[in-house]
Amino acid sequence: MDYLPCVEIEPASPATAAVIWLHGLGADGHDFEGIVPELKLSQDAGIRFIFPHAPSIPVTINNGLVMPAWYDIMDINIDRKVDEEQLLKSAAAVQALIDREIERGIDSARIVVAGFSQGGAVGYQAALSYPKALAGLLAMSTYFATQASIQVNPSNQQLPVEIYHGTMDPVVPEQLGREAVTQLCDMGLTANYSTYPMEHSVCLEQIRDISAWLQKRLL
């Protein structure tokens, strides 16, 4: 099977857990590679980090420029008109990476899906519809693009969801992060929501919170 190309960071000890971390529009798998040492996780944590590269496609809101993207965005407004077919294809490709980790000996309950911006939208779809219970979903500076169509798998009805957003985000307004919490609650899920005084980015305080959450979920 053809898998998404990925940057992989192996732990010092044999891997017993995995984090599949999806980048945002126009970036690639190297974008968050440098965050791993900043998390200051134990050398014996046994967590493999996987940073997939999105395919390069034309993006309508960027005048059709070809760039790494998980799906096309046709209209830059609060409703985020997106190519859902492409998003679902990307989510399926991420689920294939989850399957591969299970084949490598990682229990699904020790696999976290994380995503920033576009990657977070794909993360919602990939994690919540996955047919085996996962360890958690980390959604950063993103929105729940498929909330109207997603079929949440019963295995992940209790999935721990952690949502982080910048209060000054000019790209994905914070309102969309809050709306995701409401949408999840309407589906019977729960989410922890935190904000930071930042724009469309990641800050030191957030990295500390990500570290604490990962330790809680995987250590």
Domain boundaries, the chain: 6-218
DSSP secondary-structure letter at 19?
Answer: E
Of 31, 72, 83, 169, the catalytic one is: 169
pLDDT digits (tens, 9 = 90+) for 108-149: 999 999 999 999 999 999 999 999 999 999 999 999 999 999
Amino acid at the residue 58: P
Whether 117 is a known active-site residue: answer yes
Instruction: Give the count of alpha carbons within 13 A of 34, CB side only.
Output: 4
**Measured CA distances, 4 to 22, 32, 95, 159 (Å):** 11, 16, 11, 24
Residue 52 near residue 27 (C-beta atoms within 8 A) = no
Whether 169 is a known active-site residue: answer yes
pLDDT digits (tens, 9 = 90+) for 47-59: 999 999 999 999 9
pLDDT digits (tens, 9 = 90+) for 28-51: 999 999 999 999 999 889 999 999
Of 90, 108, 117, 129, the catalytic one is: 117
Q: Quick one: 6-218 is in which CATH superfamily?
A: Alpha/Beta hydrolase fold, catalytic domain (3.40.50.1820)
Per-residue pLDDT band at 76 (split at 50, 70, 90): confident
Q: Give the pTM.
A: 0.97
From CA 96, how far away is CA 94, in angstroms rounded? 5
Contacts of 183 (CB under 8 A, 6+ apart): 144, 147
Of 200, 201, 209, 211, the catalytic one is: 200
